[in-house]
Amino acid sequence: MNPRLRRLVPCLFATALLTTWAAPGVADARITKVAIDTAQSQSPTFGGYSWPGVGQYEKVVGTAFGEVNPLDPQNAVIVDIQLAPRNSRKNVEYSFDFYILKPKDLSKGAHKVMYEPPNRGRKTWQSLGRVTSGGNDPGSITDPTELANAFLMPRGYTMVWSGWDASAGTSSANFNMRIGGSGGPGSGLPIATNPDGSTITGPAFEYIIMSGSAAYPLTYPAATLDKSKAKLTHRVHLNDAPVEISASSWTYNATGTTINLVPAGWVANDIYE
């Protein structure tokens, strides 16, 4: 990647996406580093296709790192942030993936950004972009007919995606939000604990629609395998009264990370909570 692009991306990313984070204030929230993944970035992208008046596009992929003040009241909506590990500046660090498609020559672009928060790590822009392929890597589209008929690129838009969902996974196909340190992807993931170092526990709610005998993965592992501390209910319709399922009819796995109905399995499209 050329030096011009390396200088441009942090500026573009900070101004287009992170203005509020970088602004001075009580929280002193900020982006501390932007790491470009040269293996996944590409210039030009879209197979080198060039749009009249706009030119070629390039793809910039990487990870941004930041920190927030856990004592700022504005950050109180972040669950357990006051119990998360802090760095030397007493802030909580985080990182997230980003993916940018931009005109190689920004002076020919629209100077406008289309930003989409991915849906659990997946890009869903195809209808807006008037394309049908590309999936989670839009820059991989090379069909000249499809590219010529696209909506955003011929108009010079910069397109940006960034991760926000920590459960999206760390696959390069997904875009993930990580609460972690300043290392590479997936590194330095802290675990919030009580002041005495003990594990934080609390009630968790799951809305389950399954079918067959597959186990359901819990968002949070059970604090105990004692089923008297949990309740599973079943209903057919949303306006039905939930009916409790006896503890003998469902089970945890050995680590408390999944549950399943035994032996019958789930009723397809019914509601379990």
Looking at the domain assignment, is residue 197 inside a domain? no
Cβ atoms of 81 and 73 closer than 8 Å: no
Rounded CA-CA distance 143/128 in Å is 18
**Domain for residue 199, yes or no?**
no
- Is residue 207, in this structure, part of any structural domain at all? no
Q: Using alpha carbons, select from 52, 64, 80, 83 the residue that is nearest to residue 17.
A: 64
Q: In this predicted model, which residue has the larger pLDDT, 262 or 5?
A: 262
CB of 220 within 8 A of CB of 204? yes
pLDDT above 50 for 100: yes
Structurally, the chain folds into a number of domains equal to: 2
Mean pLDDT of 170-176: 55
Q: Is the pTM of this model over 0.75?
A: no
Which one-letter amino acid corresponds to residue 16? A
Q: Which pLDDT band holds residue 95 (cuts at 50, 70, 90)?
A: confident
Same domain for 172 and 236, yes or no, is no
* pLDDT score at 52: 97
pLDDT tops 60 at residue 172:
no
The tens digit of pLDDT for each residue in 180-228 reads 444 444 333 567 889 998 988 889 999 999 887 889 999 889 999 999 9
Based on the domain organization, do 25 and 85 belong to the same domain?
A: yes
> For residue 203, is it within any domain?
no
Band (124; pLDDT cuts 50, 70, 90): confident
Q: Say how far residue 82 (Cα) sits from the centre of its chain.
A: 22
C-alpha atoms less than 13 angstroms from C-alpha of 187 in its C-beta half-sphere: 8
pLDDT of amino acid 135: 81
Give the count of beta carbons closer than 10 Å to the beta carbon of residue 179: 20
**pLDDT score of 19 more than 70:** no
Domain hosting residue 21, numbered range: 3-178
Q: Identify the pLDDT of residue 21.
A: 40
- pLDDT at position 111 over 80: yes
Is the separation of the CB atoms in 117 and 162 below 8 Å?
yes
Q: What is the DSSP string of 52-64?
A: TTTEEEEEEEEEE
Domain co-membership, 221 together with 169:
no
* Same domain? 141 vs 225: no
Q: Which of 202, 184, 116 shows the shortest CA–CA distance to 152?
A: 116
| 249 and 146 together in one domain | no
Q: Do 25 and 159 sit in the same domain of this protein? A: yes
Q: What mean pLDDT value characterizes the chain? A: 82
Is the domain of 151 the same as that of 225? no
Most confident range (mean pLDDT) of 25-39, 123-137, 147-161, 207-221 is 147-161
Mean pLDDT, range 162-182, rounded to an integer? 60
Q: Are residues 167 and 240 in the same domain?
A: no
Residues 113 and 246 occupy one common structural domain = no
Q: What is the CA radius of gyration of the chain?
A: 23
Assess if residue 15 is contained within a domain. Answer: yes
220 found inside a domain = yes
- The answer on 8 and 104 residing in a single domain is yes
For residues 41 and 6, what is the distance between their CA atoms, to the nearest angstrom?
Answer: 11
Residue in 108, 104, 101 with CA at minimum distance from that of residue 129: 101
CA 116 vs CA 120, 122, 123, 152, 160: distances in Å: 12, 10, 8, 13, 7
Average pLDDT estimate for 43-68 = 94
Highest average pLDDT, of 20-24, 26-30, 101-105, 186-190, comes from: 101-105
Does residue 47 have a pLDDT over 90?
yes
Q: How many other C-beta atoms are found inside a 10 Å radius of the C-beta of residue 101?
A: 23
| 70 CA to centre of own chain | 21
pLDDT for the residue numbered 116: 87
Does residue 184 sit within a domain? no
Statement to judge: residues 73 and 125 lie in one domain: yes
The pLDDT assigned to 56 comes to 98
| Of the residues 125, 154, 178, the one at which a domain ends | 178
Residue 252 lies in a domain: yes
Question: Is the pLDDT higher at 127 or at 56?
Answer: 56
| Residues 79 and 21 occupy one common structural domain | yes
